[in-house]
Amino acid sequence: MSPTKYDASSIEVLEGLEAVRKRPGMYIGGTGSGGLTHLLWEIIDNGVDEAAAGHCDLIEVYFHPDGSYEVADNGRGIPIDLKDGAKTALEVVFTELHAGGKFGNKAYGASGGLHGVGASVVNALSRRLVVDVNRKGATHRLEFFERVAGHTAANGRFRPSHKLEKVGKVPRTRTGTRVRFWPDTDIFDPEARIEYAEVRERLSQVCFLVPGLKIRLTDRRGAKVQSEEFKSSGGLVDYVEHLSNGTEPVTGVIRLQGEGEFTEKVPVDGKLTEVTRHCVIDVALRWTAGFDTRIVSFVNTIPTTDGGTHVSGFERALTFSVNDAVRSADPRKLRKLKDKAKAQKEDVQEGLVAVVRAIVPEPQFRGQTKRELGTPDVQKIAYDVVKRTMGDWLEGRAKGSRKNQVRGVLDKVSEAILNRVATRQALETRRKAASLGSAGLPDKLADCRVHPGGELLLVEGDSAAGPAKSGRDSNWQAVLPLRGKVVNAAKGTRKAVLDNAEATALFTAVGAGSGPEFDISAARYQRLILLADADVDGSHIRCLLLTLVYHYMRPMLTEGRVFAAQPPTHSFTVGQEKIYVYSEDEKDALMADLESRNRRYRLTRFKGLGEMDVAELAETTLNPETRVLRRITLDDAKAADKAFTTMMGNAVEPRRQFIIRHSDAYGHALDI
């Protein structure tokens, strides 16, 4: 039922922390595991800010079995002197929104907690919270029960109070803050949980951002206590090494650093005032031999999982710099592309591992959860810094720049450009073929009538294509002659494969695309049958076709839809009977048997499929009741691909070792 009255009495004003409890999603992103974890981040970030400012070198994080969480640091400690009448600064920090020491650069130059709501939001969404502060030779405690300040007496009763309680003595040089909170289970979803692995990953990141900071993480919730310690001395360089561990590097870790200034208007004493901001850009990156991209970004000590203006500036500058270097190098492999030989963002970032950090006072985040930086001027500073320093590295002027590494990057990007253009070309070819229907099929294809239940016979050479077309069942058997050399897909680029007439004919005939875009549900045939001569050349053709299918039509293999026909090597005519054999051993055995029985015979050797007449070809390779087929498995294809990589790949040493190892088996002892 909709309300019938809307006047001044309908307007509700939420005071203090009640606004947070009413709309928690505005402050922590939600009431699931992500929101619950965000409470812990808010407290941890306060300690990290102390460390980044040079006042803290140890943070301890505890998960307790009673559902509480605890964070301790040895920073300066939250101020304990009076701030607002009877209230101390400590109480104000935990009870007033937008209260903290991170406005105006007085206590912190650049920090993660910027809106002044972190500690108070944790208190607002906790059933209980205890703060201990080491200052002035003593440990000062203030508790909060359902957001009310006070203390718990020895009898367990809570008594409201603004006064801090001294609970112990410490050396005057010892300072720090310890916060333990019990999240309010009425606010959060029943299944909400802070995961150890997620916190572990975040804390390991923090150590890379603040070199020298030690963080201890202890989980006491299970039967066995888990505890780890994190520390890094190399900063972002160590982080990139960590992220790229296990991958083959193309370059070493490249460090790009610089700074700039911008002005913005901010409220000062209630009046918009123009202030100058200093921004530092710090980037570490490397290219690896893989294809995946990993870009991690931070603002001050806060991870910006959705990126922002600093990442946008970095990406634009990196693309520009690499494009400029590719254009200057003018690699031969890109010359045929002409105007298309321009790298796009995804080309440059193929195999890239990068950490991008902006250090800036009072950054503008898009949302309280700080997942994305919104300060516009940071983008230009990041662009200028990365463009200048990356350009120096690519031109060999920067420290640590190596010609072979620069060449490796340019070669990798050039290959990415070729593959992208080839992929687009393949997509356009597929769309064109789809729009043309049967008219878009290869001219040399003798198609069948049944789709997709039929089979496609891939026949070696024109001499065998004629008998195959005559002997097939045209209702469900299609024939595609392979007149030229099939490209070596293990060695050739994607563009080289798509430029090959035989490969393109196969892709077009099947009609399901190629490579990552191959869609087996769109295939026009149920089976592919490889039909080649029973000799060395035939084996070569089969291996080439198999390697092509393995790299560009792999789902056909994984679903067991690729077969090799087994043509006979010889035929024996014994009276009116014709007997086929499929190997030299079978031939010798049959000859011996016939001669032992004094049977006369005529022996015919098939040098190729083209020497068979229509009846012979139909009986031995086309008729499903009499032919012999061998299903090709994915393991077969992997073996063929490995053989081609060894014998026809770019690397010479594996081929040399193979020849040396197996030369005796072929009667050629090598004198080396």
pLDDT tens profile 133-146: 999 999 999 999 99
Confidence of residue 294 (pLDDT cuts 50, 70, 90): very high
> Please, how many CA atoms are within 13 Å of residue 212, restricted to the half-sphere of its CB?
8
The strand ranges marked E within 85-147 are: 87-88, 126-135, 138-145
Distance CA 511, CA 557 (A): 16
Least confident segment among 345-359, 383-397, 507-521: 507-521
Task: Provide mean pLDDT across the span 166-184.
Answer: 95
Task: Provide mean pLDDT across the span 583-609.
Answer: 88
Confidence of residue 669 (pLDDT cuts 50, 70, 90): very low
Does 152 score more than 60 pLDDT?
yes
Does 252 score more than 90 pLDDT?
yes
In the sheet with 562-565, reading across from the earlier edge strand, the strands are 477-482, 455-460, 527-531, 562-565, 629-631
User: What type of residue sits at position 276?
Assistant: T
Distance CA 626, CA 452 (A): 23
Pairwise pLDDT comparison (670 vs 72), residue with the higher score = 72
Longest dimension (CA), the chain: 123
The strand ranges marked E within 148-270 are: 148-152, 158-160, 165-169, 176-183, 214-219, 226-230, 254-268
pLDDT at 661: 56
Exposure class string for 216-240: b at 16+ Cβ within 10 A, else e: bbbbeeeeeeeeeebbbeebbbbbb
User: What type of residue sits at position 18?
Assistant: E
Distance CA 359, CA 365 (A): 13
Confidence of residue 14 (pLDDT cuts 50, 70, 90): low
Contact of 76 with 220, CB cutoff 8 Å: no
Residues 6+ apart with CB under 8 A from 339: none
pLDDT at 610: 65
Task: Provide mean pLDDT across the span 358-379.
Answer: 86
Topology of 237-418 in CATH? Ribosomal Protein S5; domain 2 (3.30.230)
Give the H or E element holding residue 474. none
Beta bridge partners of 229: 216
Beta bridge partners of 255: 284
pLDDT at 666: 39
pLDDT tens profile 316-331: 999 999 999 998 888 8
Contact of 487 with 502, CB cutoff 8 Å: yes
Dihedral angle sign, alpha carbons of residues 336, 289, 408, 251 = positive
Task: Provide mean pLDDT across the span 182-206.
Answer: 93
Residues of the chain with CATH 3.30.565.10: 18-232
Helix axes 376-394, 403-436, angle to 10 degrees: 110
Task: Provide mean pLDDT across the span 455-463.
Answer: 83
Does 541 score more than 90 pLDDT?
no
Q: Which two tokens stand for residue 210?
A: 């603040």
By CB neighbour count within 10 A (0-12 exposed, 13-18 middle, 19+ buried), where does 503 fall?
buried
Distance CA 460, CA 467 (A): 12
pLDDT at 216: 96
Distance CA 475, CA 267 (A): 81
Task: Provide mean pLDDT across the span 239-267.
Answer: 93
Report CA-CA distances (Å) from 220 to 40, 253, 570, 668: 16, 38, 76, 69
Mean pLDDT value across the chain? 85
Dihedral angle sign, alpha carbons of residues 312, 313, 315, 316 = positive
- Per DSSP, helices labelled H in 298-453 are 309-329, 345-348, 376-394, 403-436
In the sheet with 294-299, reading across from the earlier edge strand, the strands are 254-268, 271-287, 352-359, 294-299, 302-303
Q: Provide the percentage of residues in the chain whose pLDDT is more than 70.
A: 86
Sequential DSSP letters for 347-378: HHTTTEEEEEEEE-SS--BSSTT--SB--HHH
Does 672 score more than 90 pLDDT?
no
Contact of 640 with 489, CB cutoff 8 Å: no
Does 408 score more than 80 pLDDT?
yes
pLDDT at 1: 46
Contact of 92 with 348, CB cutoff 8 Å: no
Dihedral angle sign, alpha carbons of residues 162, 167, 171, 176 = negative
Give domain 18-232's CATH architecture.
2-Layer Sandwich (3.30)
Tokens 């099929």 correspond to: 441
Give domain 441-567+614-659's CATH architecture.
3-Layer(aba) Sandwich (3.40)
Task: Provide mean pLDDT across the span 168-194.
Answer: 95
Does 547 score more than 60 pLDDT?
yes
Does 73 score more than 90 pLDDT?
yes
pLDDT at 617: 83
Distance CA 586, CA 599 (A): 17
Distance CA 206, CA 346 (A): 28
Highest mean pLDDT among 268-272, 373-377, 384-388: 384-388
Task: Provide mean pLDDT across the span 587-599.
Answer: 92
Task: Provide mean pLDDT across the span 500-526.
Answer: 89
Residues of the chain with CATH 3.30.230.10: 237-418
Does 120 score more than 80 pLDDT?
yes
Q: Which two tokens stand for residue 307?
A: 């990126």
Pairwise pLDDT comparison (74 vs 428), residue with the higher score = 74
Task: Provide mean pLDDT across the span 91-120.
Answer: 60
Confidence of residue 161 (pLDDT cuts 50, 70, 90): very high
Through-space distance between the first and last CA atoms of the chain, rounded to whole angstroms: 95
By CB neighbour count within 10 A (0-12 exposed, 13-18 middle, 19+ buried), where does 209 fall?
buried
Confidence of residue 7 (pLDDT cuts 50, 70, 90): low
Distance CA 501, CA 508 (A): 10
Does 260 score more than 90 pLDDT?
yes
Q: Which two tokens stand for residue 208?
A: 């890379």
Distance CA 110, CA 90 (A): 21
Give the H or E element holding residue 574. strand 570-574
Confidence of residue 9 (pLDDT cuts 50, 70, 90): low
Least confident segment among 16-25, 170-179, 616-625, 662-671: 662-671
- The answer to whether the peptide bond before residue 452 is cis (omega within 30 degrees of 0) is yes
Residues of the chain with CATH 3.40.50.670: 441-567+614-659
Does 112 score more than 60 pLDDT?
no
pLDDT at 53: 87
- DSSP, res 342: -
Task: Provide mean pLDDT across the span 552-581.
Answer: 89
Does 109 score more than 70 pLDDT?
no
Does 101 score more than 70 pLDDT?
no
Beta bridge partners of 87: 84
Confidence of residue 58 (pLDDT cuts 50, 70, 90): very high
Pairwise pLDDT comparison (656 vs 620), residue with the higher score = 620
Distance CA 620, CA 248 (A): 49
